[in-house]
Amino acid sequence: MIRLLRKYLPSILVAVIITWLSLSDSSEINPGKLFNFPESDKVAHFLIYGFFTLILLLDSCNWKIFGRIYYIIVSIPVLLGVLMEALQYLLTSYRQADFFDFMADLAGIACGALLISIIRKVYKKKVLD
């Protein structure tokens, strides 16, 4: 158990940060202050979930195993995104669940997974050459 926690510590920390950001009062933490344009929070969703997917896949970086386990690992950020939107709706009065936030999460997850796939192919090609 300790070995598993140690292996996935970066992923766990990112998940905790996502949870904290998702459930905290947005007046204190507002991605709109970082990006000053309409719907800038969607960019933040895209970036953080893409980063989370990258970290998860890198933490479980056994390049020989890539079939079913890959899809299971990629489903973790998807489930976290759904959970955060549901918890925002159920637990907070200062946050709103937003379908388009979840769509930005999915786009980030897809890009993170695609980037890892590209890195994996380049890595395998360099090892074989």
In the chain, what are the domain boundaries?
A: 2-23+42-128
Cα angle 39, 110, 13; round to 5: 80
Q: CA–CA separation, 69 vs 28, rounded Å?
A: 38
Divide the 129 residues of the chain into consecutive groups of 10 and give the mean pLDDT of each group. Answer: 84 94 74 63 92 91 66 92 94 88 97 90 71
Amino acid at 25: D
pLDDT at 106: 97
Helix axes 9-23, 68-91, angle to 10 degrees: 30
pLDDT at 107: 98
pTM for this model (two decimals) = 0.84
Looking up tokens 């998807």, which residue turns up?
Answer: 78
Nearest to 81 by CA among 103, 65, 61: 103
| Each residue's pLDDT tens digit, 94-116 | 888 889 999 999 999 999 999 98
pLDDT at 113: 92
pLDDT at 127: 63
Can you read off the two tokens belonging to residue 81?
């995104």
For 92, half-sphere exposure in the C-beta direction (CA atoms, 13 angstrom radius) is: 18
